[in-house]
Chains A and B, each alone.
Chain A
Amino acid sequence: MTDTAIRAGAAGPKYGSMSRDRRWALRWSYFFLVLFAIFFLTPPIYMFITSLKTSAEISAEINPWWVFNPTLGNYIELLTQDTFLRFFRNSAIVSILVVTITMAISVVAAFALARMKFWGSATLATGVFLTYLIPETLLFIPLFKMFAWVNETLGIQLMNNWWTMIILYPTLTVPFCTWIMIGYFASIPKELDEAALIDGATWTQTLTKIFIPVALPGIIAATIFAFTVSWAQFLYPLAFTTSTSELVLPVGIVTTLIKGDVFNWGQIMAGALLGAAPPLIIYAFLMDYYIAGLTAGATKG
């Protein structure tokens, strides 16, 4: 509508220059997008290139941006190594359990906070959000001391155990997941659950039969968030685990594969790529949910 108005109002040559401007703007956009794509994708691509090289090729004085004798040796070596598989197993178990615990706690709590108002529920919702803003770098030292205390008094050794991460990671995932679930639940029309309550549904039924199905996209987004956070977490395992058998993948790769002078960058890069694979695969298949989870934190609520 407005478009035709502009065309009718403007003189002939003016219209032509506008469309030419538009075309040039498009060309420039693509040009800069390619530049930025190169900047953003160089490290992962170089990671992949290096992972296909032998140590001999890495140390040779030839073009580092090309693979002359591609080999899968690095991957095979890693995947047949007990320690690496152990890292992978630890990471997988920790992440899956943390996701389960996180979703169980946060969906139920978000439902209570969004729908079943109780004394202090609004303050608590804000508190949950504030907790999300407290970084783990502030908490690892007091937690370190607390774990030592738990060991002295209760005799439970939390230090140097991979399953300690299952207790710790929910502190990073639960606040944010609760927060975005509150946002999703709050957007569900009140009439829906009122109708269910009038029909005699209990609160549990309202949650499982109405809220969870309706807010499923939000739940998927929160699940992806919880998984990527627990898969990528680096500080807690670095501070609280030391034995090789107790490490999770990111820390395992950084601490055991980098062996000073030994030339195994091919293997390190292969390991890093394998460590990055699960989040990347999830992202490739569920990109829209992944992005919904990213933007939800600031746009909802």
Chain B
Amino acid sequence: MANIAAGTVRDVAGDNRSGLTKFMQRKSTIAFLMALPLLVLIFSLVAYPAGYAVYLAMLNKGMTRFVGFANFTFLFSRETFWMVVWQSCLFAITAVMFKAIIGFIVAHFVHNIPSKGQRKWRGMLLVPWVIPPAMSTLSWLWLFDPSYSAFNWLLQPLGIGPIPWIGETGWARFSVILVNVWIGAPFFMIMYLAALKSVPEQLYEAAAIDGATWWQRIWFVTLPMMRNIIAITALFSTIVTFANFDIVRVLTKGDPLNTTHVFATWAFRIGIEGNDIPLGATVSLFMVPILAVAAVFILRDITKRGSEV
């Protein structure tokens, strides 16, 4: 960039008086200046911290000495770390899968009913996505309360429970996934509904004439037509779910015994609350590989579509 800018300055320098003015009036210069605030923001508060995290991860706890990969090897030797890896993957994969399935089913039901009522249902079903996650997780926390759980009150007459929703490892893992599915499924529903609307009606008519069952219609018409949206929504959601913080932080804080921690909450526990910034940075860096893979696929998808248009 600087080279080109310098070049243009030299080119127009012949006319000394208005050289700078002309340069400032060039289309590319104006455009660059218009994008400058964006560039400054991205470089100073996103790109630089991201790179800085890698450097931080190689310092000792007091941040006085360069220790190379010692933080990484230290983590590898800790049992809690592997539990967090396992829990993060379990959390992200299960939650994204259920969000996709529930979103797909609900989108179909909404699509099935007369279009007059669709708006109303869609509006109602998107509410979990609109409420700030920290706030809605609070209501789940109260629904899961150890001694006053409203769910347990309902289950009690059936002879079930009391269920330790957030008190026992298995149930607590189930609960954080449930809340995540609850918040995220409406997003899938909206995306799939938009995709369903774009499938040409003639395809279904043709399939009906050929005697296709409803299952064959979904498998051979709907799914292939929606493949793109399904993939991109699932990838987006994988990134967001994998990096999730709010739900686990509010619902369990990683308890019982650190078994519900995901990378983000554990990094917070170690880095901010435990005052070990380098180790916290190291933990959060373990999110990068999966995020990078998802990002590459999304990008490929988007550029592919861009060239098609």
Interface of A, helix, strand, loop or mixed by DSSP:
helix
Question: Which residues between 132 and 146 of chain A lie within 8 Å of chain B, taking CB atoms?
Answer: 133-146
Q: A141-B271, A144-B277, A276-B131 are in contact. Are A40 and B125 (CB under 8 A)?
A: yes
Residues of B with C-beta under 8 A to A46: 139, 142-143, 150
User: Which B-chain residue is minimally distant from A273 (CB atoms)?
Assistant: B135
- The distance in angstroms between the C-alpha atoms of A291 and B142, with both chains bound, is 29
Contacts of A130 in B (CB 8 A): 295, 299
**Does A272 lie at the interface of the complex (its beta carbon under 8 Å from any beta carbon of B)?**
yes
Interface residues on chain A, number (Cβ under 8 Å): 100
Residue of B with least CB distance to A299: B194
* Further 7 A-B residue pairs, CB within 8 A, beyond A116-B30, A272-B135, A287-B119: A32-B105, A46-B142, A46-B143, A50-B142, A119-B28, A171-B42, A235-B246
State whether B139 touches A133 (Cβ < 8 A): no
Tell me the count of chain B residues lying within 8 A, CB to CB, of chain A.
105
Is the Cβ of A131 less than 8 Å from the Cβ of B46?
A: yes
Report whether A235 and B245 are in contact in the complex, using a CB–CB cutoff of 8 Å: yes
In the complex, the answer to whether B191 meets A29 with C-beta atoms within 8 Å is: no
Q: Which residue of A lies closest to B288 (CB)?
A: A138
**B241-256 with Cβ < 8 A to chain A:** 243-246, 249-250
With known contacts A117-B31, A120-B1, A145-B277, A40–B128 Cβ distance under 8 A: yes
Is A294 an interface position by the 8 A CB rule?
yes
Q: How far is the CB of A46 from chain B (nearest CB, A)?
A: 6
Query: How far does the Cβ of B165 sit from chain A's closest Cβ, in whole Å?
Result: 13
Give the contacting residue for A137; candidates B45, B110, B209, B287; CB below 8 A.
Answer: B287
| Alpha-carbon separation in the docked complex, A121 to B205 (Å) | 45
Which of B14-22, B49-57, B67-75, B166-174 makes up part of the contact surface? B49-57
Does B138 reach chain A (CB closer than 8 Å)?
yes
Would A142 and B49 be within 8 Å (CB), given that A40-B127, A297-B236 are in contact? yes
User: Could you mark each residue 17-49 of chain A with 1 if its beta carbon is under 8 Å from any beta carbon of chain B, else 0?
Assistant: 000000001100110110011011111101100
For the complex, give the distance between the alpha carbons of A155 and B264 in Å: 30
Report chain B residues within 8 Å CB of A64: 148, 150, 153
